[in-house]
Every structure is written in C-alpha cells, then in structure tokens.
Amino acid sequence: MTVAERSGTKSRKRGPYAPEVTRKQILNASLNLFSEKGFHATTVDAIVVRANLTKGAFYHHFESKEDILRQIHSEYASEMLSGAREVDSATDLEPIDQLRSLIERAVVVLGRYHDHVAVFYQEFRFLSGNNYSAIRRMNDEQEDILLRVVARAKEAGQIRPDMNPKLLVFSVSGITAWTYHWYTPAGPMPLEEIARQLADIILAGVVTDSIRENADAARPARPVKSAGGRRAARGRRPR
C-alpha cells in the first residue's frame, strides 16, 4: 500500500513542467489578489493557494511579492514603451499623426491592461530601490518620446505656437492614464472608439486652424436623418 493510499488521498499525476505557464499562473493569481485585498494584505501563502502551486514554485520564479508587483507593472509599461518607440520611428507619419497615434495607443493599452494599471497606481508605494527605478526609467523614456513628438508637431506648425509642450505632455498623460478609473469592457463603446474620441478631444484644443480645416475636409460625410425622417449626407459644419 502506498503512502497516498494509507493517508486516504489520491496521488495526482503531474504533467510536463512548463515554466512560462507556471509563471503566468503566479502573476494572474497575484494580480487578482492584489485587486481584491491589496498588496499588503496578500500573503505568499494566499498566492500559491490561488495559483494551485507550491511555495517552491513561487520562489523559483520570483524573489518576493514586491518582485511580482514590479513585474505586473513592467508588463504594461513595456507594452506602452514598445508602442511609443514604434510611433517615434515612423518617419512616414506627420508629427501630428504621430501624436494622435501615441494618444490612441495609450488608451487602448491602458484598457487592455486595466487590472495591471489599477494595481500599480494603488500599490506602487510598496516598490522601492531597483524595482521602482526600472519602472521609472520606462515611464521616463515614454514621456521623453511624447515630448519629442509634441516638439516636432509644434516646429512643423501643426500645434499652436503658444502651446507649452510640457503642459501638453502632462495633459495627455493624465487624461489617458485616468481611463483606468472608469473604463469597463462591458460599456457601450468599443475601446478603439474611446481612444479615437479622446484623441479628438485632446487635439481639438491644441492644433492650428490649418490642421483643423484639413481634418474637417478629410472627414467622410456621414448620413443623418432629415426633418422628414429621410437620411441626408452630412458635410462640413458651417462656420
């Protein structure tokens, strides 16, 4: 009789070890628990129970809870930075189009990584030393790219000459980051449409008249209902 049989338990066959799957299980369990209970109230024991793993598996992949918190934000920050670098290097785009792309990408990534962002903003005070510095460097580079694109758009005469580039960067960062407070996938608008409209709202207040006129001329006509109930084409708005 085996030990499992004597103890009244059944032995479970383990499948092949998949490090990335195990790592993802730990991250997902931690993300859920941090969201539910907060970083401080979540123990390593609770994480391994939720992930259905052992402490050995936990410490094989992560040094501590703080290491997990850093990784949670790193996943989101890396995606943001990768997209920003891609836009920055797209020399075939006009600077104002690069700016729009940065705004829209930020909103979409924030929506897709909603839980990661929420946990970070609620718990980032628990990051210290190298863990915080690594995240700070990624955020700083992303901000530098945004500032560089804004400066190019202003130099090209696409942004109002009186607009302060740093203030615009802070505004873009604040407006896009705040979406994690109110965005829900169950809402009536697709994430991409939210991103487009937020970009419209931001850019409407900073672009030059010539850019605004070109955008109006390029906007396709949309059918609207006439007073008699028939649909008519909507052209440019009267000035």
**Domains (ranges, CATH) in the chain?**
18-62 (1.10.10.60), 64-221 (1.10.357.10)
pLDDT of residue 238: 35
User: What pLDDT, on a 0 to 100 scale, did the predictor assign at position 225?
Assistant: 42
- The C-alpha atoms of residue 108 and residue 179 are separated, in whole angstroms, by 10
235-239 mean pLDDT:
38
Looking at residue 216, its pLDDT comes to 58
Mean pLDDT (the chain) is: 82
pLDDT at 42: 92
The pLDDT of residue 126: 72
Cα–Cα distance for residue pair 190/194, rounded to 1 Å? 6
> Mean pLDDT throughout 208-220?
69
Query: What b/e string do you get for 98-111 counting C-beta neighbours within 10 Å, with b at 16 or more?
Result: bbbbbbbbbbbbbb
Span 41-65, pLDDT tens digits = 999 999 999 999 999 999 999 998 8
Cβ partners under 8 Å of residue 155, min gap 6 = 95
Predicted local confidence at residue 123, as pLDDT:
76
Average pLDDT over residues 158-178: 94
| Model-wide pTM > 0.85 | no
When pLDDT is averaged across residues 99-117 and rounded to a whole number, the result is 93
CA distance 143 to 184: 26
Tokens representing residue 63 in the block: 């040094």
Residue 237 has what pLDDT? 39
Mean pLDDT of 17-45: 89
DSSP lists the bridge partners of residue 233 as: 223
Indicate the pLDDT class of residue 16, thresholds 50, 70 and 90.
low
Nearest CA to 96 out of 207, 174, 218, 219 is that of 207
Q: What percent of the chain has pLDDT over 70?
A: 81
pLDDT of residue 48: 94
Distance of alpha carbon 24 from alpha carbon 192, whole angstroms: 27
If phi over 0 gives left and psi between -120 and 50 gives alpha, with beta otherwise, what is residue 229?
left
> CA 22, CA 62: separation in Å to the nearest integer?
11
pLDDT (tens digit per residue) in 71-99: 888 888 899 999 999 999 998 999 999 99
The closest of 75, 180, 90, 181 to 138, measured between CA atoms, is 75
